[in-house]
Amino acid sequence: MAQRTSGLFTGIYARGEAAALVSDESYWLAAMLDVEAALARACAAEELIPADAADAIGAACRATERFDLETLAVEAALHATPIPGLVRALRDAVGEPYAAYVHHGATSQDIVDTALMLVAARALVVIIADARAAADRAAALADAHRQTAMIGRTLMQQALPVSFGLRAAGWLTGLDAAVGGLQRVSARELAVQMGGPVGSRPHAVAARVAAELELTEPVLPWQAIRVRPAALAAALATLAGVVGKIARDVTLLAQQEVGEVRERDDGERGGSSSMAHKHNPVAAVSALACSKRIPGLVATILAAMEQEHERAAGAWQAEWGTQRELLALTGSATAWGRKLLERLEVDSDRMAANLAQAAAPAAPAPDDPDELIDRALQAHRR
Amino acid sequence: MAQRTSGLFTGIYARGEAAALVSDESYWLAAMLDVEAALARACAAEELIPADAADAIGAACRATERFDLETLAVEAALHATPIPGLVRALRDAVGEPYAAYVHHGATSQDIVDTALMLVAARALVVIIADARAAADRAAALADAHRQTAMIGRTLMQQALPVSFGLRAAGWLTGLDAAVGGLQRVSARELAVQMGGPVGSRPHAVAARVAAELELTEPVLPWQAIRVRPAALAAALATLAGVVGKIARDVTLLAQQEVGEVRERDDGERGGSSSMAHKHNPVAAVSALACSKRIPGLVATILAAMEQEHERAAGAWQAEWGTQRELLALTGSATAWGRKLLERLEVDSDRMAANLAQAAAPAAPAPDDPDELIDRALQAHRR
Amino acid sequence: MAQRTSGLFTGIYARGEAAALVSDESYWLAAMLDVEAALARACAAEELIPADAADAIGAACRATERFDLETLAVEAALHATPIPGLVRALRDAVGEPYAAYVHHGATSQDIVDTALMLVAARALVVIIADARAAADRAAALADAHRQTAMIGRTLMQQALPVSFGLRAAGWLTGLDAAVGGLQRVSARELAVQMGGPVGSRPHAVAARVAAELELTEPVLPWQAIRVRPAALAAALATLAGVVGKIARDVTLLAQQEVGEVRERDDGERGGSSSMAHKHNPVAAVSALACSKRIPGLVATILAAMEQEHERAAGAWQAEWGTQRELLALTGSATAWGRKLLERLEVDSDRMAANLAQAAAPAAPAPDDPDELIDRALQAHRR
Amino acid sequence: MAQRTSGLFTGIYARGEAAALVSDESYWLAAMLDVEAALARACAAEELIPADAADAIGAACRATERFDLETLAVEAALHATPIPGLVRALRDAVGEPYAAYVHHGATSQDIVDTALMLVAARALVVIIADARAAADRAAALADAHRQTAMIGRTLMQQALPVSFGLRAAGWLTGLDAAVGGLQRVSARELAVQMGGPVGSRPHAVAARVAAELELTEPVLPWQAIRVRPAALAAALATLAGVVGKIARDVTLLAQQEVGEVRERDDGERGGSSSMAHKHNPVAAVSALACSKRIPGLVATILAAMEQEHERAAGAWQAEWGTQRELLALTGSATAWGRKLLERLEVDSDRMAANLAQAAAPAAPAPDDPDELIDRALQAHRR
C-alpha cells in the first residue's frame, strides 16, 4: 500500500525519518532507478553495453521527477510488478540510440529486491542512529541512578529492593543488543539481487552492482531463498521488542499510584480530549502502538519464505508492503522510544517512599548494583 | 500509516473500491466528522445540547475540505490520538456560540472506534459485492463444467477423476460461507462506541447515534472489550483465505505442464519484463500477494485484545492501522479474485488429456457430481 | 505433537478438562474409531456394506485398548497421516469376513477431519461450561458492586470515577459474546467430512454420519475449503482474548500500590520460590500464559487456508497439532479465568481511598451505572 | 503442554532427535536439576555454601528418577512455575544438614531460563547436524547436476533454461546460511540467567555457572530483556523456512505432469489409504506440516518481548511451551528435509523433455552454471 508521511494516524505510526523514507513512493522510485543506473554502469564495465549508454541511462535515472507514479501504478497492476512499466518509462526517457540497453539482462526481481535492500540500508542508518541515541540516554540514566533505590517487581508484585539504575542498565543492554543485530544485518545481509530471469546470471555484474551501491555481494542470486528478508525482519522486530519493553515499564511506573517516573512536558505532549487533568504517557503509548504491530508482520515474512521454483507466485510479492511496514513501524517505535527516554523524569523520592511501604523483608540491602551497571556501561562503550 | 491510492505497489495491494475507501485519509476524516455530527444530533434529541448547536455542528462537519490533514497529523502525535486536534478544529469551524457543544460528553475512543466501524461498514459493502460477484462466477463455472472431467489431485499428486464443476462448486461454497460471515459481522458486530471518558455514559445517546449511523447498538460501551474488532478481522481473513485457496489452485492448474486453466488476456494483463513469451497468472499472483499478508495482521488484532482498564495504552492504538490494512488488503484480494474468476479460461481438452494419461485405476467412473453441484448452487441462491 | 496431561508445564498450560480431552492421544484414537464406526453404520444403512459388517466394525472400534499408539505413530510417519495404519489395525481387529468393509469409500481426510470436529465438539462442551461459569461469576460481581466506586483508568492513568460493577459488567459482556460465538461454531461449523478420495462422494453417507455423530451436515465435502477450521480457531481466540483482558486487569488492580483486588488464598495458590512474603496473582498469570499463545496459532490456521487442489500437501497436516493447541490452551485459559473470578476479592475500601486521592475533577458524580449493569445482566440471562 | 515422543501425529511432527529431546518431560527435569547442581558448585566455589553441600546437592540432582513429574505438575499450577515444587523435592532429596543450601540466592526464573538455554543448546546440536547433512546432500546434488538442464520457472510459469544443479546450489546456500545463524545463536545467545529474585545478583556466580554449563556469560541478567529467546526463535524459523522452500519445490517438481523429481521408495514411505497407485511425497509433505507451524510461534515469542518490570506476569510463562514447540518442529522439519534430500531421485530425461517442449525462446543456452555452483560449493566447504 502506498503511504504518505502525513495523515490522521501517521503522527503515531510514522515518527522519525525512517518512516518518511520508506513511506514516500518517490523514495522507492529513486531507489529502483539507482539500481537501474548501477546495473548500467556495471554492464558497461563488463563491456556488455556501451559506456555512453550507461551515461545516458544514469542521467535519465537521476531525473526522477520525470516518472509519473500514477502511470506506474496502473502498469504495476498489469504485471504484478512495477518494473515493466518502469523500464518502459526509463527507455522513453533515455531515448535512442540507447533505450535498448536499459535493464540489460535483468529481471523484475533484480530491481525490486535490490531496491528493497537499498531502501532498508538507508532506513537502517536512521533507525540505528535513533536506537543509539536511546541507548546513550539509557546509559546516562543507569549511571545517574546507580544508587536510586526502588522496589523491584516480579509478576507485577512488589518483590525486593533494586536500583533504578540497574533497571535502566537492563534497557541499555537490550538496546545495545538490538543495535548490534541491525548492524550485522546491515553489514552482511543487505545484498544485491542480480541473477537475471532465472537466477543464472554470472556473478561479475552482481559484484559490480554491489560495489556501486555499497551492498553485500551474495554467494548466489537469492531469488527464492529468502534468508535475507527474514534476517532483516527479525532484527527489526528485536529492536521494536526492546522498545516495547521499555515503554511498557514506563506506562507501569507512570501510573499515579506508583508515580516513580513521568514523561516531562516538553511542549510536545498533551492531555486528554475529555479530561484536562490527565497527563498521558504519550511517547510510551505511541511506541507500544507501533511495537505491537511488528510480530504479526514478521510472521508474514517468515511464512513467505516458502517460495516456488526460481520466483514465487504471491509470497514474494507479499513481502514488499510488509517489509515497508516493518521498517516504518520499527523506525517510529524507536523514535518514540528515544523521545521517551529523553523526556523521562525519575522521581527518586517516590521510589524511596514506595520502597519504604513495601512488605519486603526488613532491610535486605540491595545487592550493590555498581558492578552490574559498570558491566553494562562498559559493554555499551565498546 | 497513511496511504494513498496510487503508488508503485498499490496496483497490486489496493485493487477495488475498498482499498481506496479505507486508504484515503479524507475518508477517515469524513467518517470521524460523521460521528461528531451524529453525536450532536443525538445530544440535541436527548436535550443535552440546543438543537441549533446540533445544526451548526452538522453543517461544519459536512465541510470536510476545511480541515487540514497535515495539522491534524501533527496534533495527533501530541496526544496519541487524532481527536483532540479534530475537536479543536471543529470548534473553530463551528464558532460561537455553539463551539462548546462540540464532542459533548464524548471521548477520543468514542469517535475513533465509531468511525472505524463506519469505515468498515462502508468498505464491507463493496467487499461483499465483489465477493458475491466472484461467487456468481464460480457458480457459473460449476454449472457449466458439471461433466468436465479432470483428474483430482491430493498431496499434489494425481488421485482419481473428479469434475471441474465440482472444484468450482467447492470454491463457491467457500465464497458463500465467507460472505455469510461478513454479512453477520456487518449486521451484528459493527456497533457504535459511545461510552464517554470511562465507558459509563447512559445508553440513550449511544442508541440514538447507532440509529443515526445505521450501526449496531451494543449492550454496553465496549471500550476495552475487543470482541467486535476481532470478529471483523476474522471474517475478513476468512474471505481472504478462500480467495487465496482459489488463486493457489489457479496458479497450479495454469502451469504449462498442467495447462488446464489460464487467465484470459483481457487487455489488462501483461507479460514479463525479461521474457516476452511468458503468460503470467497476474490476478492469481496479486490475489495471493494480498491474502498472504492477512494472517499476521489478524494475530496483531487478537493479541491486542489484552487491553488495560477502561482504555488501553498501546494495544488499542495498534488496531487502527492494522484494521485499515485488513480492510484494504482483503478488499484487494477479493477484487483480484473476482477478476481472476471472470477471466478464467478452462481447457477441457487438456483436462481430458491429463486424465487419460493419469495412472488412476482404469475407468473408475467419477461419482456423478450433479447432486453435489446442485447442492452448492441451491445453497448459493438462498 | 503428542501431549500428556501431566508434566512440568502442564499445570499451567493444561488446566481444566478440555486440555486433557484434546491432549490425550487415546482420546483422538477413540474419536477416529468413532468415525469409522459411524461410517460403517451409515454405509450399512445405505446398503453399501452388510449390516453384520457394520456391527463387527462397531464392536472392534469400541475396543480402543487393542490399538497400539506406538505402532500407529510409526506408520503415520510412512504416510504423513495416521489413517492407513489405523485402517490396517482396524481390519486386523475386525477379521474375516468383514475386514474389507472397513473404511468403505473413505479417505484419510474424511477420518481425520471428522475426528477433529468430534474432538472439538466434545472439548467445546467443557470450554463453554467453564466460560459460562466465569460469566456467572462476573455477573455476580457486577451485581454486587454496582455502587462500588473506583477511579476509572485510561492509557494507564487515572481518569474519572466509575464503578467496579461496571468494570465487571464489561467482562461479562465479553464472556457472553465469546460464549455466543462458540455456541454458533458448535451448532453450525463442526461438520462431518465424508467426501471420499477426491471429495466427490454423494451426500447420503455424509448425512447419515452427521446424524450418527451429531455433527453438522455440510453443503459439500470441504476438504480444501477450510472455512470451518478457521471459524473454530477464531471463536476460540475470541474467548481467550476476553480472558486475557480480564487477567490483565486483575494483574494491574492487584499491584500493591493499587491494591483494589487480590486472588483469595484458597489453598491452591502459593508464594515465590525466593520471596515468601509475595502473594502472586497465580490464576491471572497462568491465564495470560495461555492466552498469549493463541494469536500466533490462529495465524497458522489462517495461513493454512491456502490449500492445493482436492487435498493440501502440508497446510492441512499443519492444522492438526495447531488446532489441538488452540483447544487445549483456550480451555486452560478459560479454566484459569473461571478460577480467577471465583477467588477474586474486591477491596472496596482501597478503591474508595484511591478515588479520594485521584486528581480527578472534584466531585464529578459517576454516571449512575445501574442502567448499564442491568443491560449487561439482562443480556446475560437471555 | 507436555509431550510424548509417540502418538498419532508425532510421526510427522516429531521426527529426529531434537523433538524427542525437548518433548520428553524427564529431559527438562534433568536440565533443571543440572542448573541447580551447577549453581551449587558455583556457590561453593564462591564460598557462599559449603563444598560438602554442593556435593550433596549434585548427587541428589543426578538421581532424576526420584523426582515425580505428576507431583511437580500439581505444584507448578500453585505457583505458575515448576520451581518451588522442584526445590522442595530437591531439598527433601538432599536432606539434612544441606537442604537449606539448595537453590542458594536463586529465583525461579534463574532455573527455568537457564534450563531452557541448556535444552536449546542440546537440541541445536542435533538440529545443526541434520541441517548440515541436508546441506551436504544438496551440495552433492548441485555438483552432480551442474549440466542437468531444466526449464526455470517463475510465477509458476515456464521461463528460461537453468540447471538443476543451480537449483540445488540455491537450496545449499539457504541451508548453509541457516546453519550459520544457528551456530551464532549457539555460540553467543544461549546465556545463563542467574540474577536472583530481582536481577541484581553480582556477576561472579553467573560466570561460574556459565562455565559449568558451557553457556554464554551475559553482560547482565536478562530477566525481562528477551533478546536471546527472540534470537533463538528467529534462527530456528530461518532454518525451517529454508526447509519449507525445498519441500515446496519438491512437491511441485514431483507432480506427475512435471515428473522431474520423486522421493525414492526407501521402505519408509507408503501410499494412500484409498488409492494404492499413488506415490505421495511424504517427506516433503511432512516437512511442510512442520515448517508451516513456525511463523505463528515466532510471532508469539516476539510479542512476548513486552515484559513487565523485573519479571513478567504472563509473557514470560507463555514462552516456555512456545520455545519447546519451535525446537521440536524445526528439528522435525529439518530431519524430514534431510530425509527428503537423501531419497530424492532426479529424472534428467524428464527435465530434458519438459525443456524441449517449453515455449522458451529457441535455444537460449543457459548461462553456464558452473561458476555459480562452484561459488556455492566453496562457500559450503568453508
Count, residues in chain D: 382
Residues of chain B above pLDDT 70, percent: 93
Which residue from D minimizes the CA distance to C69? D7
Say if residue D274's pLDDT is above 90. no
How far apart CA B118 and CA B113 sit, in angstroms, is 9
Which of B256, B286, B301, B308 is the best mutation test for D, with the most CBs of D within 10 A? B256
What integer pLDDT is reported at residue A265 of this predicted model?
81
Q: Is C207 exposed, middle or buried (0-12, 13-18, 19+ CB in 10 A)?
A: middle
Active site residues of C: 272, 311
Residue A81 is placed in which grid cell?
510488478
Tell whether D95 is within 8 A of chain C (Cβ). Answer: no
Which of D79, D197, D269 is facing C78, going by the closest CB pair?
Answer: D269
Subunit contact A255:C257, Cβ cutoff 8 A: yes
Q: Find the mean pLDDT for residues A166-195.
A: 98
- The pLDDT confidence band at residue A135, using thresholds 50, 70 and 90, is very high
Q: What value does the mean pLDDT take over residues C95-111?
A: 97
Mean pLDDT confidence for B219-240:
98
Residue D296 · residue C300 · CB < 8 Å: yes
Q: Which residues contact B135 (CB under 8 A, 6 or more apart)?
A: B172, B175, B176, B179, B380
pLDDT in tens, D315-346: 999 999 999 999 999 999 999 999 999 999 99
Q: Return the pLDDT at A26.
A: 76
- With beta carbons under 8 A apart, name residues in chain C contacting D299: 295-296, 299
Active site residue B272: yes
pLDDT of the residue at B331: 98
Nearest chain C residue to D25 by CA distance is: C7
Q: Which residues contact D55 (CB under 8 A, 6 or more apart)?
A: none
How many other C-beta atoms lie within 10 A of the C-beta of residue C181?
Answer: 21
Judged against a pLDDT cut of 70, whether residue D362 lies above it is answered with no
Give the Å distances, CA to CA, from C234 to B192, B236, C185, C289. 22, 11, 10, 19
Among A241-255, B198-212, C23-37, C83-97, where is mean pLDDT lowest?
C23-37
Q: Residue D282: which residues within 8 A CB-CB, separation 6 or more?
A: C77, C78, C79, C80, D263, D269, D270
Give the closest of C82, C275, C282 to D9, CB-based.
C82
Percent of chain A at pLDDT above 90?
84
In the prediction, which pLDDT does A59 show? 98
CB contact at 8 A, A83 and A113: no
Residue B39 to residue B193: CA distance in whole angstroms = 11
Rounded CA-CA distance A325/A232 in Å is 12
Looking at CA atoms only, how far is residue C312 from chain D in angstroms?
A: 9
Nearest to B106 by CA among B209, B20, B234, B248: B209
pLDDT at C96: 95
Instruction: Look at the block and give the residue holding cell 471521548.
Output: B107
Distances A152 to A164, B217, D118 between C-alpha atoms, Å: 9, 45, 27
pLDDT band at D267 (very low <50, low <70, confident <90, very high): low
Of B11 and A93, more confident: A93
Per CB-CB distance under 8 Å, the chain D contacts of C73 are 6-8, 10-11
Asked whether the predicted pLDDT for residue A25 surpasses 50, the reply is: yes
| First-to-final CA distance of chain C | 40
Q: What pLDDT, on a 0 to 100 scale, did the predictor assign at position B166? A: 97
The three-class DSSP label of residue C160 is: strand
Q: Are B53 and B98 in contact, with CB atoms under 8 Å apart? A: yes
Using the CB atoms, write b or e for D136-154: b if 16+ within 10 Å. Answer: bbbbebbbebbebbbbbbb
Which among C319, A187, A303, B297 has a CA at the least distance from the CA of D238?
Answer: A303
Active-site residue set of A: 272, 311
pLDDT (0 to 100) of residue D361:
62
pLDDT digits (tens, 9 = 90+) for B267-315: 665 555 555 557 899 999 999 999 999 999 999 999 999 999 999 999 9
D neighbour chains, 3+ CB pairs within 8 Å: A, B, C
Asked if residues B305 and C249 have their Cβ atoms less than 8 Å apart, the reply is no
Interval B115-122 mean pLDDT = 97
Considering Cα of B64, then B70, then B71, then B76, what sign does the dihedral take? positive
**Active-site residue among B137, B311, B324, B343?**
B311
Task: Assess contact for B269 and B15: CB atoms under 8 A.
Answer: no
Do the beta carbons of residue C85 and residue C183 sit within 8 Å? no
CA distance D263 to chain B (A): 12
Give the DSSP H/E element, type plus range, for residue C324: helix C315-342
Chain B residues touching C238 at Cβ < 8 A: 227, 230-231, 234, 305
Q: Which three cell numbers stand for residue A160?
A: 525486593
**Interface contact D153, partner A, CB < 8 A:** yes
- State which residue of chain A sits closest to B267, comparing Cα positions: A78
Higher pLDDT, B26 or D274: B26
The rounded mean pLDDT for chain B is 93
CA dihedral D170, D172, D174, D179 (to 10 degrees): -170
Dist. CA D299–CA A295, nearest whole Å: 5
Task: Check pLDDT > 60 for residue B5.
Answer: no
Neighbour-count burial for C128-160, b at 16+ CB within 10 Å, e otherwise: bbbbbbbbbbbbebbbebbebbbbbbbbbbbbb
Interface check A197 vs B, CB under 8 A? yes
Neighbours of C366 (CB within 10 A): 18
Residue D251 has pLDDT above 60, yes or no: yes
A199–D contact, CB cutoff 8 A: yes
Instruction: Please give the backbone phi and psi of residue C75, each rounded to the nearest 5 degrees, phi first.
Output: -70, -30
Predicted local distance difference test score (pLDDT) of residue D213: 98
Residues written for chain A? 382
pLDDT tens-digit series, residues C204-261: 999 999 999 999 999 999 999 999 999 999 999 999 999 999 999 999 999 999 999 9
Nearest to B308 among C201, C249, C312 (CB): C249
Amino acid occupying residue D339: K
Contact at CB, B156 and D251, closer than 8 angstroms? yes
What is the β-pairing status of strands C157-163 and A2-4? unpaired
Could you write out the DSSP letters of every residue in D93-114? HH-TTTGGGTTTT--HHHHHHH
Amino acid of residue D69: L
Q: Flag whether residue A299 sits within 8 Å of chain C, measured between CB atoms.
A: yes
pLDDT at D1 (0 to 100): 32
pLDDT of A3: 39
Q: Considering only CB atoms, which chain B residues are within 8 Å of D161?
A: none
pLDDT, one tens digit per residue, over D69-123 is 888 988 888 999 999 999 999 999 999 999 999 999 999 999 999 999 999 999 9
pLDDT for position D4: 44
Closest CA to B317 of A8, D308, A276, A264: A8
Q: Are A288 and A248 in contact (CB under 8 A)?
A: yes
Q: Are D228 and D190 in contact (CB under 8 A)?
A: yes
pLDDT of A279: 82
Lowest average pLDDT, out of A101-115, A345-359, B10-24, D49-63, goes to B10-24
Confidence of residue C5 (pLDDT cuts 50, 70, 90): very low
| pLDDT tens per residue, range D177-229 | 999 999 999 999 999 999 999 999 999 999 999 999 999 999 999 999 999 99
Asked if B197 has any chain A CB less than 8 Å from its own CB, the reply is yes
Closest to D12 (Cα-Cα) out of A303, C78, C112: C78
**What ipTM was predicted for this assembly?**
0.96
| pLDDT at site C272 | 55
Distances in whole angstroms, Cα of residue D29 to Cα of each of B107, D35, D121:
52, 10, 15
Of C7, C74, C292, the CB nearest to D315: C292
Contacts of B300 in chain A (CB under 8 A): 292-293, 295-297
pLDDT grade for D2, boundaries at 50, 70 and 90: very low
pLDDT at residue B63 greater than cutoff 60: yes
Find the mean pLDDT for residues C262-285.
75
Could you give the CA distance from residue D152 to residue C345 in angstroms, rounded to a whole number?
Answer: 67
Q: With left for phi above 0 and alpha for psi between -120 and 50, is residue C244 left, alpha or beta?
A: alpha
* Interface touch C158/A256, C-beta < 8 Å: yes
Virtual torsion, Cα A177, A181, A184, A185, nearest 10 deg: -170
D60 alpha carbon, distance to own chain's centre: 30
Instruction: List D residues 338-357 in contact with C (Cβ-Cβ < 8 A).
Output: none
Which residue, D286, D338, D381, is CA-closest to D137?
A: D338
Instruction: Flag if C10 and D29 touch (Cβ within 8 Å).
Output: no
How does residue A96 score in pLDDT terms, banded at 50, 70 and 90?
very high
Q: What is the pLDDT of residue D275?
A: 59
With cut-offs at 50, 70 and 90, classify the pLDDT of residue D167: very high
User: Would you state the pLDDT for residue A77?
Assistant: 86
Q: How do strand A149-154 and strand A157-163 relate by DSSP bridges?
A: antiparallel
> What pLDDT, on the 0 to 100 scale, is given for residue D276?
58
Q: Summarize pLDDT for A197-219 with one digit per residue, the tens.
A: 999 999 999 999 999 999 999 99
User: What pLDDT does A365 receive?
Assistant: 55
Please report, as a single letter, which amino acid is at residue D319.
Answer: E
- 3-state DSSP of chain A: CEEECCCCCHHHHCCHHHHHHHHCHHHHHHHHHHHHHHHHHHHHHCCCCCHHHHHHHHHHHHCHHHCCHHHHHHHHHHHCCCHHHHHHHHHHHHCCCCHHHCCCCCCHHHHHHHHHHHHHHHHHHHHHHHHHHHHHHHHHHHHHCCCCEEEEEECCEEEEEEEHHHHHHHHHHHHHHHHHHHHHHHHHCCECCCCCCCCCCCHHHHHHHHHHHCCECCCCCCCCCCHHHHHHHHHHHHHHHHHHHHHHHHHHHCCCCCCCEEECCCCCCCCCCCCCCCCCCHHHHHHHHHHCCHHHHHHHHHHCCCCCCCECCCHHHHHHHHHHHHHHHHHHHHHHHHHHHHCEEECHHHHHHHHHHCCCCCCCCCCCCHHHHHHHHHHHHC
Does position A1 have pLDDT exceeding 90, yes or no? no
| B164/chain D closest Cα distance in angstroms | 17
Give the confidence band of A266 by pLDDT, cuts at 50, 70, 90: confident
Question: What CA–CA distance (Å, rounded) separates D193 from D209?
Answer: 9
Q: Is C279 within 8 Å of chain A by CB? A: yes
pLDDT band for position A363 (cuts 50, 70, 90): very low
Beta carbons of D157 and B255 less than 8 Å apart: yes
Chains that touch C (3 or more CB pairs under 8 A): A, B, D
Instruction: Write down the pLDDT at residue D23.
Output: 78
Q: For residue B63, give the 3-state DSSP assignment.
A: coil
Q: Do C155 and A296 touch (CB under 8 A)?
A: no
Mean pLDDT of chain D: 93
| Residue from C358, C357, C326, C337 nearest C283 by CA | C337
pLDDT of residue C123: 97
What pLDDT was estimated at residue B26? Answer: 75
Task: Provide the mean pLDDT of chain A.
Answer: 93
Residues D77, C10: Cα–Cα separation, whole Å: 8
